[in-house]
């Protein structure tokens, strides 16, 4: 069984304890307390973090010393038989994502376009931007990143399934897998490496691919001249180095994303998982603060990276006058492939 690579010495000597001090859902009196809690977790002792962590993934970004605090928290929770969300919800996710041999595989050669197990990704991976890879789509539980189970502190499911997923890709004989789901890329890079899993192909982050294509399609771009708020996804915390791509794409297509209170490191998640874990009060509060902030920044559009965030927030932002749109659709709008007002 794979073991989490977690350098205890690095933590022991950490002077920041930013992982917990920056946490948006818990407060600590200072370094001493936060660091102390991290030490307890590491040693397998009880810590309030184990019952209070909302699984927002952000501490994976806050720790800049190469450790994996969130994976550790999840490991320890599972070891102690703890559940984050209610047990039936946890098990439902496990059952829902079982591989049953019902996957779809397109005309895959060197490259595969991964649609994870999210139907919405298929239509996104189309058109001029994806013209070279659109028919190489793969979809299904067999190709799904199992990272979602970290929310439920079921790392055992990830350790069991991720090697199979990686192997499923390997069997396709691909050199590159373009991940349309942010979390897939995070899983094949951050999680796989944290557990020492070898990935025998090159995972490609879709925004890298999109940026490159948009540069190639530069002549077709008509600057959009719109103001947007970007909804960062939880999984983006696993790959913070990729966050800058969003700004680059916005600049290229003439999109303004004014400064917000909740952006970059301080971004608020879509909060749907908070609803599952703790109920509506916290989730409603986070979503309200987030949308208020988008409006205060003067945004007309709410731009998503992850279709799951889009599902949970689309109706809510629409009701408050913002147009919900995936970043790929935004790019399609810029090259005239998608109607401006057809945002949905």
Partner 1 sequence: MSDILQSLIDIVGERSVSNAPEELWFYSRDPGVLAPHKPDYVVAPKTTEEVQKIVQLANREKVPVVPMGNGMSLAGLVIPLKGGIVLDMKRMNKILEVNAMARYVVVEGGTSQGALKSYLQKNHPTLRHSIPDAPATTTIAANVSLHGQGRLTNQYGFNSDMVTGLEVVLPTGEICLIGSPSIGPYWISKGPTLPDLSGLFLGWLGCTGIITKVGLKLYPNKKIRDAELFVTDRVDLIPHILYKLTHLEMLEDINVWFQPKPLMFLGNYHITIFFTGDTEEEIEFKRKMVWDCLQEYMDSKDGGFMSMQYMKPMLLEMPGRNIADFADVPKGGGFEYSGPIAPIEHFPQYAAKVVELAAKYNVLYASTARLISGGHSMMYSISFAFNRNDKAMMERVEQALTEATAFALDMGGIPWKPNFKEQQMTLAKMEPNARKLLLMIKKNLDPQGIMNPGNWEVNS
Where along the sequence are the contacts to ligand SF4 (CB under 6 A)? Answer: 10-11, 14, 16-19, 23, 25-26, 35, 38, 49, 53-59, 63, 65, 67, 69-70, 73
Residues in 256-275 that interact with partner 1 by CB under 8 A: 272, 275
**108 and 297 Cβ atoms separated by less than 8 Å:** no
Q: Is 135 exposed, middle or buried (0-12, 13-18, 19+ CB in 10 A)?
A: middle
318 binds partner 1 (CB under 8 A): no
**205 and 171 Cβ atoms separated by less than 8 Å:** no
Instruction: Work out what residue 95 binds among partner 1, ligand SF4, none; the CB cut-off runs from 5 to 8 Å by kind.
Output: partner 1
Q: Is 221 helix (H, G, I), strand (E, B) or coil?
A: coil
150 binds partner 1 (CB under 8 A): no
Phi (first) and psi of residue 51, to 5 degrees: -100, -15
* Six token digits for residue 327: 């970043």
**52 and 27 Cβ atoms separated by less than 8 Å:** no
Cα angle 279-85-78, degrees, rounded to a multiple of 5 = 150
**Using the rule CB under 8 A, which residue among 31, 83, 176, 197 binds partner 1?**
83
Question: What track of x and - describes contact with partner 1 for positions 97 through 126 (by CB under 8 A)?
Answer: -x-x--------------------------
Signed CA dihedral, 162, 167, 172, 174: sign only:
positive
Contact window for partner 1 (CB under 8 A) among 61-69, 88-96, 125-133, 193-201: 88-96
Instruction: Work out what residue 89 binds among partner 1, ligand SF4, none; the CB cut-off runs from 5 to 8 Å by kind.
Output: partner 1
187 binds partner 1 (CB under 8 A): no
Residues lying near partner 1 in the complex (CB under 8 A) are found at 83, 85-89, 91-92, 95-96, 98, 100, 272, 275-276, 278-280, 311-312, 315, 319
């Amino acid at each position: 069984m794979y073991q989490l690579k977690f350098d205890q010495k690095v933590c022991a000597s950490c002077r920041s304890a930013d992982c917990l001090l920056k946490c948006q859902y818990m407060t600590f009196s200072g370094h001493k307390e936060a660091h102390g809690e991290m030490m307890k977790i590491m040693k397998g002792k009880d810590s309030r973090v184990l019952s209070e962590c909302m699984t927002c993934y952000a501490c994976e970004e806050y720790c800049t010393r190469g450790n994996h605090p969130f994976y550790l928290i999840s490991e320890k929770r599972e070891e102690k038989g703890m559940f984050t969300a209610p047990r039936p919800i946890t098990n439902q996710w496990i059952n829902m994502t079982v591989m049953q041999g019902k996957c779809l595989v397109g005309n895959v050669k060197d490259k595969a376009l991964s649609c994870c197990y999210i139907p919405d990704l298929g239509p996104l991976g189309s058109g001029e931007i994806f013209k070279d890879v659109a028919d190489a789509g793969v979809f299904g539980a067999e190709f799904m990143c199992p990272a979602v189970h970290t929310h439920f502190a079921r790392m055992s499911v990830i350790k069991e399934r991720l090697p199979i997923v990686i192997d499923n890709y390997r069997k396709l004989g691909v050199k590159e897998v373009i991940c349309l789901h942010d979390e897939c890329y995070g899983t094949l890079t951050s999680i796989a490496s944290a557990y020492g899993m070898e990935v025998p192909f090159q995972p490609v982050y879709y925004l890298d691919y999109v940026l490159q294509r948009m540069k190639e399609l530069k002549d077709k771009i008509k600057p959009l001249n719109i103001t947007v708020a970007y909804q960062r996804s939880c999984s983006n915390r696993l790959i913070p180095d990729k966050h800058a791509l969003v700004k680059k794409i916005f600049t290229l297509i003439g999109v303004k994303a004014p400064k917000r209170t909740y952006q970059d490191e301080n971004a608020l998640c879509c909060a749907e998982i908070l609803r599952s874990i703790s109920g509506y009060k916290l989730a409603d509060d986070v979503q309200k603060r987030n949308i208020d902030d988008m409006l205060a920044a003067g945004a007309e559009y709410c731009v998503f990276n992850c279709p799951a965030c889009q599902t949970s927030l689309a109706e809510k932002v629409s009701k408050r006058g913002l147009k919900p749109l995936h970043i790929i659709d935004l790019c399609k709008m810029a090259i005239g492939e998608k109607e401006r007002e057809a945002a949905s």
